[in-house]
Amino acid sequence: MLGFGVVFKKALGVCLMKWFFWIFCLSFAWWPGNLVAEVPCRGRALAAEDGTASGVEDCELNLWTARAALRKHLAPCVQAMQRADLRVFGALRFDLFLAPGGGLLSVHQTRSTFDKTDLPNCAIRVIRRRMNRPRAGGEGKPVVVSLRLRVDEDDFSLEWTASVVAEQKKVEVLDQNPLPGGFRKSLTGPVTTCAMGAGSLVLRLESLERGQPGWHPAMNDTNPMQVLDSCLAPVLGEGQSRRKQRTHRRKESKCLSKLLTHPDPRVRVLAADAIHDAWHWRARRALDRAGREMVVEGACRVGDKDCTTHAPAGYWPGMALVRILRAQVRLQRRIRDEVLTAVLKHDMASVRLRFVRDVMRVWKGGVPDLLAPLYRDPDPLVRVHACQRACLEGNWQARHGFVELLDAKEPGLRAIALLHAQACARQESGELRLRLSTETEAGLAALMRLLVTDQDPELTRQAADGLLHDCPLVRYLSARWLARLPEPPADAIEEALAREQDPLLREGLLRLQSGQREPRHREQIWWQTSAR
């Protein structure tokens, strides 16, 4: 009986091993990780970066992605991130530029929370190795393909997307009635204007790779910088030990504190910027003392109510006071009321505007009521920037000042309100919608549509009509608004393409028609008076 049991056990083990072998083979053959979902292809041309047809068809792209087997080769990268201490979940996007024939020209990664991990670099290495397999033949423009890598706690998925060139209907080009105007070339990018009232709206398009320059004091000579360097030169030669580093910081703070009372206000500007950038906490009292000495007349003690305050005359003394106040705010030092009152009394609007941009922007704990006069400042640019900063803090007084600017008769005042107080515009969406129905300037109406979050048929009709406006700025902003819609009106886009003569606007319409909504330029819009 025991021998029969042993024989039966061996026979059952052999059968199970045979069955397990075939089950393993079938499961490996049909495992989803080794399959690439084949989208039904019809030989359609994929869109290039400019919206026109590339030299790659959808069937070719399906073949390339299937042979690359990216899911299999990306699995070690994702698993390594999931096992690490820092685990991030979400979506990661890559833009691939593929040449006709299968060659990979470049890979660009969109910034995300995965940048703190090694997953983006590992994925880019795998994509370059697996997708760069050029084959003979192929002419035309490269295609732009997006790869979306979705990472979950225990799995990940891949999704390929590419824009297909829309099947354009044959539309007769109406040469006898082309749309006027267009963009002109400049040193910083294409520029176009739209005249209204006593000035005009100006739109300039810059490349997304171009950086924004920061503000630096414009010096006529190098004397202020030499004063700062001569003061810090003996200090910067200290060693790198921790004790010497503390000594170095103490000497540097003492040196910069002395420069806050320098006769040249430009040196004071540089010293305040150095304290602000290096977080010199020891210089807080020196900042407080220097700011008060610039605005208080006579030998007044702290807390005296009879002291007379005055704003420092001139641009550079006013700028020195503003930079000192900015450093005080960053170092969490309370600014005295008499100093704030003196800044509001400065006779130059550029100094008051710099105070709003530099000091109110970094103010902690809400904007104080003492700065309420800025919402009624005689200079409209100072007023609108102050309203913008206060609207971000939820101040109702600033929203009231913004509505008053929208009711102004001059189109320039309404333009700067829409351009520089967009936080107030989004909070006053109802008021903005009422002004939109009565706005007579097409350029300002196009700006209002971009700030309104609704997407009702009436706004769609207005934006479609804006594609045929005489002003190229209105046509550009109307196309920008239509790009928000899931399905832009095809008839309006085709009619605009039939009459549009400007190459840049035509390229934007073609991209909109092919489903490419991402902006290719950084937009800068400002109001310019006719006297400039």
Give tens-digit pLDDT for 418-475.
Answer: 998 888 888 888 888 888 888 889 999 999 998 887 778 888 899 999 999 999 999 9
Q: What is the pTM of this model?
A: 0.59
Over the stretch 301-344, which tens digit does the pLDDT of each residue have? 444 555 555 667 778 888 888 888 888 777 766 777 777 778 88
Q: What percent of the chain has pLDDT over 70?
A: 75
Query: What is the per-residue pLDDT for 364?
Result: 66
Kindly state the average pLDDT of the residues 352-364.
80
Over the stretch 261-273, which tens digit does the pLDDT of each residue have? 777 777 777 777 7
β-sheet with 191-196: strand ranges across: 191-196, 199-207, 521-529
Report whether 492 contacts 464 (CB < 8 A).
Answer: yes
pLDDT confidence band for 132 (50 / 70 / 90): confident
Query: What is the per-residue pLDDT for 88?
Result: 78
Query: What is the per-residue pLDDT for 173?
Result: 45
Kindly state the average pLDDT of the residues 107-119.
81
Beta strands in 220-359 (DSSP E): none
The Cα 463–Cα 457 span in angstroms is: 10
pLDDT confidence band for 24 (50 / 70 / 90): very low
Kindly state the average pLDDT of the residues 102-126.
83
Query: What is the per-residue pLDDT for 310?
Result: 63
- Please check the confidence at residue 349 and state whether its pLDDT lies above 70: yes
Query: Checking DSSP bridges between strand 45-47 and strand 53-57, what pairing results, if any?
Result: antiparallel
Which candidate, 92, 106, 104, places its Cα nearest to that of 148? 92
Kindly state the average pLDDT of the residues 217-230.
56
Query: What is the per-residue pLDDT for 422?
Result: 86
Query: What is the per-residue pLDDT for 496?
Result: 92
The Cα 28–Cα 33 span in angstroms is: 9
Over the stretch 164-176, which tens digit does the pLDDT of each residue have? 775 544 444 444 5
Query: What is the per-residue pLDDT for 36?
Result: 34
- Please check the confidence at residue 254 and state whether its pLDDT lies above 90: no
Q: Which residues contact 468 (CB under 8 A, 6 or more apart)?
A: 179, 475, 495, 496, 499
pLDDT confidence band for 218 (50 / 70 / 90): very low
- The residue written with tokens 């001059």 in the block is 410
**Dihedral angle, C-alpha 272, 278, 284, 290, nearest 10 °:** -10
Q: Give the three-state DSSP class for 105.
A: strand
Kindly state the average pLDDT of the residues 377-393.
85
Euclidean distance between the first and the last CA atom of the chain, given in angstroms as a whole number: 110
